Amino acid sequence: GAGVSQSPSNKVTEKGKDVELRCDPISGHTALYWYRQSLGQGLEFLIYFQGNSAPDKSGLPSDRFSAERTGGSVSTLTIQRTQQEDSAVYLCASSRRGGNTGELFFGEGSRLTVL
Amino acid sequence: GESVGLHLPTLSVQEGDNSIINCAYSNSASDYFIWYKQESGKGPQFIIDIRSNMDKRQGQRVTVLLNKTVKHLSLQIAATQPGDSAVYFCAEIATGTASKLTFGTGTRLQVTL
């Protein structure tokens, strides 16, 4: 597609369940980011993939969070044993290259609600 | 730790007036700054960027000013329109390092008629 695509757009789950959020970046973009945005807050960095380099996982809040990027394209963010504080909008972004550009293209996000 | 923050959480401006949104950053190694606009229910959208070798950059109706001495960044919107109503984020990065884009908290711009 023309833009970054994320699914699902909305996810309601029960505390303790696992969830998977998917991001399909713009074709040809080598860099992919996951951010988390709580209500009325800024963007909290989670993880960054750049080409074939080891991902920067420094923003993952706990070991319940993991992400992978298969074939340098689609990425999946997995949250295990979800907690209520995990409720947020999870935003994915891609860019043509990594650290030297600030022009990230964002998807519309996946809104996660943990009951 | 290093952070990027904003002075005003909400700014209300009358249609047609100019808007100024401010941002302070604390990482002296940051050399590239970006403003993003986020409309309700959407992801942030790139507006304009500026590198540290510049102190001013202009786009269409927007101007970004950078004052490295006091680590301050501002976004000026000329002739503000209702469509400018959104949350605006500044972001920073130290290019050439392994750092990633760091976003501030955001300022909500409300345009009144």
- Pairwise CB contact (< 8 Å): B100 & A56: yes
**Set of chain B residues whose Cβ sits within 8 Å of the Cβ of A45:** 100-103
Q: What are phi and psi of B27, to 5 degrees?
A: -85, 105
Cα–Cα distance between B6 and B105 in angstroms, integer?
6
Contact B41/A108, CB-based, under 8 Å? yes
Pairing of strands B10-14, B107-112: parallel
Whether A43 sits inside 8 A of B41 (CB atoms) is no
B45 contact residues in A (CB cutoff 8 A): 106
A42 pLDDT band, cuts 50/70/90, is confident
Q: Return the minimum-mean-pLDDT range out of A107-111, B41-45, B53-57, B73-77.
A: B41-45
pLDDT in the model for residue B17 = 97
Nearest by CB to B98, which of A4, A56, A104?
A56
**Smallest Cα distance from A14 to chain B, Å:** 23
% of chain A exceeding 70 in pLDDT: 94
